[in-house]
Amino acid sequence: MPQDPAERRVTVTGPPRRTGRASGYYRPRTEIDEQTTLGHTYVRSLMRSQLRAGLTVLAVLGLLVGPLPLLFAALPDARGLEWAVLGFGLYAPLVLLARWYVRRAERNERDFVRLVEDR
């Protein structure tokens, strides 16, 4: 096949799975790399902080959006309000929530890297 460039261009092989190699060479972050109990504790702490950030934003989203259908049902005459809120008002808060989350998640990761490397 390598002789025929057209054929080589179109050949697809699926990603080999479960064929990873053992850790290559020794690094300072061996606890994580070699999956010791201490390494797992580190990973868990990162997951917890990231999950907390996600759940915080989800809670804010729920509090922001959740009562709206009830509000609109309670105020059937406030059609203009419903148009304004659903049509134009919610997109900016969604983007701001997303930006806040990304900043927090990236800070969590930076703190984690610093923790692991300074150890």
- The closest alpha carbon to 112, from 35, 47, 37, 52, belongs to 47
Q: How far is the CB of 58 from other proteins (least distance, A)?
A: 6
| Residue 54: CB atoms within 10 Å | 13
Q: Helix, strand or coil for residue 36?
A: coil
Whether 116 and 43 have beta carbons less than 8 Å apart is answered as no
Whether 56 and 96 have beta carbons less than 8 Å apart is answered as no
The residue among 3 and 11 lying less far from other proteins, judged by its C-beta, is: 11
The residue among 2 and 80 lying less far from other proteins, judged by its C-beta, is: 80
Q: What angle do CA 66, 67, 70 make, to 5 degrees?
A: 120
Q: How far is the CB of 63 from other proteins (least distance, A)?
A: 13
Q: How far is the CB of 82 from other proteins (least distance, A)?
A: 4
Whether 32 and 42 have beta carbons less than 8 Å apart is answered as yes
Residues in touch with other proteins (CB under 8 A): 9-20, 23-24, 27, 29, 32-33, 35, 39-40, 43, 46-47, 50-51, 53-55, 57-58, 61, 65, 69-70, 72-73, 79-80, 82-83, 86-88, 90-92, 94-95, 97-99, 101-102, 105-106, 109, 112-113, 116
Q: How far is the CB of 86 from other proteins (least distance, A)?
A: 4
